[in-house]
Structure 1
Amino acid sequence: MFRQIGAMEIILILGVLVLLFGAKKLPELARGSGRALRIFKSETKGLMDDEDDKTTTTTRVVEEKPVALPSDVVQPTRPTSYDKHPDTP
């Protein structure tokens, strides 16, 4: 029913593309499709890596940072400009 695509069919397809898009647009279309394929490949590889990370169990040590308590806050020793009331000089 279906046969292999030969050289004549490829030439015919390229001829139709040149007629539809013009010779100047074809390199831009090829460049854009190449970028899209690279992005697609990197994204699928990233998804595969994420799945591998989920299946591999790793133990992470989380370092806890101390929480500042109100008694730990240092008060300024001299008055600042925002401490002055507008009525005082």
Structure 2
Amino acid sequence: QPWRRLLLGAAATGAVLAGATRRWQAPVLLGGGALTLLALHELARGWDLLPRWIYLGVGGLALVGLAATYERRRRDLARLRAAVGRLG
């Protein structure tokens, strides 16, 4: 079974790369979908193998990343308001 999953991942990656170089939409979407499903399957298989604190760490990093983009968006919105205010 591990070889099957490895070959599936390699074939899906090859389909994505071939479709991207030829600018074909179908191989990119199908290969990307297969890689997504394979990644979710592998994540579900290894879910119980990870220590519990890793989930808290990943959640904390996600919150820090969201906060950083939130602050950047607020700054961009303030710049936009100033630019629109200068127009009138």
TM range (shorter): 0.3 to 0.5
Which protein is richer in helix relative to its size? 2
Query: Which structure has more RCO (C-alpha within 8 Å, separation ≥ 6)?
Result: 2
Could you state the TM-score of these two structures normalised by the residue count of structure 2?
0.42
Could you state the TM-score of these two structures normalised by the residue count of structure 1?
0.42
